């Protein structure tokens, strides 16, 4: 279909370079608004994107109210974000996951890195959770739902459209069933363990699939160990350690709902005898454990993003350092620390430095054993550094 019916968005001179080098976002100051005023576009409208000389770069969608005022959808101008392109890209995304995972529990779509900017889909067997974060995706919501129905045949879809990013796009915040009966809880399987998850009220889209591989790596260290899982959520790390033979596991989370979930998941897997659960602030609990001279063989730290914006880097980095120091202080002589950060603004090297500084502060010898990343159902777009956000280090701490 030739797209001579689509409106044109023209970039200023040289502003096509980043796109030609692989990026897909366009910022509002890069648009030649004399030639193609942004105000002429409706929120989420499809457009042809051109360079300053009128050469076509591809098709995309426009949001005149957002700083990222357009995203490239295809470099072939014959394609726009309609049901057929959505179906095609969903099938491609599905093919990767089906190859990777034996069971239908995974992130099916990870936005830009699956060529579906502004769309996230998590799969819980026959139930899908969809999160839309861009006006261009919201505009084709019905087509997305139709395409998902065709590709996955789910029994229900929950729209978890309450992310704070939506405000930047001028989109309302809501959470509702798109169709079908969304059960209060669903069960997923990971590394042979069963986890019960609350889709409507759980954190983010219900489960942190991004930590799957790092949880598997923890298993290698767990046999016979006393384990402390801080920021446990539903017990992801802790229960994997228990299943892999840990002598005892203490799971900590400040949320009452999470703590109830850990208890339930420990029961589901017959691990209650070795798992204890504490509802407490991580910093408070670590302080108390140290005062009580408790020692662990393994400590897992998986905090929520402590740096949300660039301007919080300094303060947030200090928080990571304090947390890692406190974790090291409750580690036994030959201890393993699994230290994670999902803050994009904390670079991998900075987390490594945080660990080094913390180890110096507590006067321990630090060796980095393994590095972890987000799981492969969260692919990275090589031109968009923001898509690589999860870091994990497995470190050994010895006496100096
Ligand atoms: N490790 C989990 C994911 C952790 S998400 C997994 O593998 O799935 C971060 C968790 O930290 C959330 O469950 C949140 O409730 C909890 N949390 C946030 N602030 C906290 C604090 N100050 N103390 C303890 N837990 C906290």
Atom 7 (ligand 1): residue with closest C-alpha?
236
Q: For residue 364, report the phi and psi dihedrals to the nearest 5 degrees.
A: -125, 155
183-230 pLDDT, tens digit each: 999 999 999 999 999 998 877 889 999 999 999 999 999 999 999 999
Judge contact between 112 and 24, C-beta under 8 A.
yes
pTM of structure: 0.96
Judge contact between 125 and 186, C-beta under 8 A.
yes
Atom 3 (ligand 1): residue with closest C-alpha?
233
Is the pLDDT at 1 greater than 60? The verdict is no
Confidence of residue 2 (pLDDT cuts 50, 70, 90): very low
Is the pLDDT at 315 greater than 60? The verdict is yes
Q: Give helix then strand counts, H and E, for the chain.
A: 11, 19
Residues 6+ away with beta carbon under 8 Å from 261: 196, 197, 198, 233, 234, 235
395's enclosing H/E stretch is: strand 391-399
Assign 42 to helix, strand or coil.
Answer: coil
Is the pLDDT at 308 greater than 80? The verdict is yes
86-131 pLDDT, tens digit each: 999 999 999 999 999 999 999 999 999 999 999 999 999 999 999 9
- Measured from the CB, is residue 235 less than 6 Å from ligand 1? no
Q: For residue 365, report the phi and psi dihedrals to the nearest 5 degrees.
A: -90, 125
Average pLDDT estimate for 151-157: 98
Assign 236 to helix, strand or coil.
Answer: helix
- Measured from the CB, is residue 301 less than 6 Å from ligand 1? no
- Measured from the CB, is residue 236 less than 6 Å from ligand 1? yes
Cα–ligand 1 centroid distance for 325 (angstroms):
18
- Measured from the CB, is residue 190 less than 6 Å from ligand 1? no
* Mean pLDDT over each residue of the chain, to the nearest integer: 97
Pocket test for ligand 1, best of 281, 303, 323, 372 (most atoms within 8 A of CB): 303
Enter the tokens of residue 25: 């976002």
Average pLDDT estimate for 339-355: 98
pLDDT at position 4, please? 72
Pocket test for ligand 1, best of 122, 197, 215, 231 (most atoms within 8 A of CB): 231
Judge contact between 115 and 89, C-beta under 8 A.
yes
79's enclosing H/E stretch is: none
Average pLDDT estimate for 323-336: 98
Q: What is the dihedral of CA 213, 219, 220, 223, to 10 degrees?
A: 180
- Measured from the CB, is residue 279 less than 6 Å from ligand 1? no
Confidence of residue 267 (pLDDT cuts 50, 70, 90): very high
Cα–ligand 1 centroid distance for 48 (angstroms):
43
Give the C-alpha separation, 92 to 114, whole Å: 8
- Measured from the CB, is residue 339 less than 6 Å from ligand 1? no
27-53 pLDDT, tens digit each: 999 999 999 999 999 999 999 999 999
Atom 15 (ligand 1): residue with closest C-alpha?
255
pLDDT at position 201, please? 81
Atom of ligand 1 nearest to the CA of 340: 1
Active site residue 342: yes
Enter the tokens of residue 260: 């109830």
Atom 10 (ligand 1): residue with closest C-alpha?
231
Confidence of residue 75 (pLDDT cuts 50, 70, 90): very high
Percentage of residues of the chain with pLDDT beyond 70: 99
pLDDT at position 3, please? 66
pLDDT at position 336, please? 98
Percentage of residues of the chain with pLDDT beyond 90: 97
């Amino acid at each position: 279909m030739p797209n001579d019916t689509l409106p044109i968005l023209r970039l200023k001179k040289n502003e096509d370079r980043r796109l030609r080098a692989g990026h897909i976002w366009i910022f509002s100051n890069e648009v030649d608004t004399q030639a193609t005023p942004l105000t002429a576009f409706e929120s989420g409208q499809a457009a042809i994107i051109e360079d300053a000389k009128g050469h076509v770069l591809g098709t995309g969608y426009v949001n005149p109210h957002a700083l990222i005022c357009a995203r490239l959808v295809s470099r072939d101008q014959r394609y726009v974000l309609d049901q057929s392109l959505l179906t095609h890209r969903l099938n491609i995304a599905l093919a990767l996951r089906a190859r990777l995972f034996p069971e239908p529990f995974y992130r099916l779509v990870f936005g830009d890195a699956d060529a579906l900017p502004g769309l996230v889909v998590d799969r819980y067997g026959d139930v899908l959770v969809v999160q839309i974060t861009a006006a261009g995706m919201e505009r084709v919501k019905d087509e997305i739902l139709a395409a998902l129905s065709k590709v996955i045949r789910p029994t229900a879809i929950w729209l978890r459209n309450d992310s704070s990013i939506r405000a930047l796009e001028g989109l309302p915040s809501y959470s509702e069933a798109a169709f079908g009966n969304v059960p209060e809880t669903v069960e997923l399987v990971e590394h042979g363990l069963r986890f019960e998850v609350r889709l409507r009220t759980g954190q983010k889209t219900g489960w942190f699939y991004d930590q799957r591989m790092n949880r598997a790596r923890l298993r290698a260290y767990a046999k016979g160990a006393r384990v402390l899982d801080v920021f446990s959520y539903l017990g992801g790390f802790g229960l994997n350690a228990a299943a892999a033979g840990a002598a005892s596991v203490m799971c900590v989370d400040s949320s009452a709902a999470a703590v109830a979930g850990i208890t339930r998941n420990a029961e589901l897997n017959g691990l209650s005898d070795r798992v204890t659960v504490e509802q407490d602030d991580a910093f408070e609990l670590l302080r108390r454990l140290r005062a009580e001279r408790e020692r662990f063989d393994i400590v897992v730290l998986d905090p929520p993003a402590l740096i949300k914006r660039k301007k919080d880097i300094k303060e947030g980095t200090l928080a990571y350092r304090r947390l890692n120091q406190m974790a090291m202080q409750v580690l036994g002589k030959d201890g393993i620390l699994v230290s994670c950060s999902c803050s994009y603004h904390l670079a991998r090297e900075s987390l490594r430095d945080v660990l080094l500084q913390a180890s110096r502060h507590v006067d321990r010898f630090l060796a980095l054993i393994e590095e972890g990343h987000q799981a492969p159902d969260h692919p990275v777009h090589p031109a968009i550094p923001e898509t690589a956000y999860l870091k994990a280090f497995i470190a050994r701490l010895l006496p100096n």
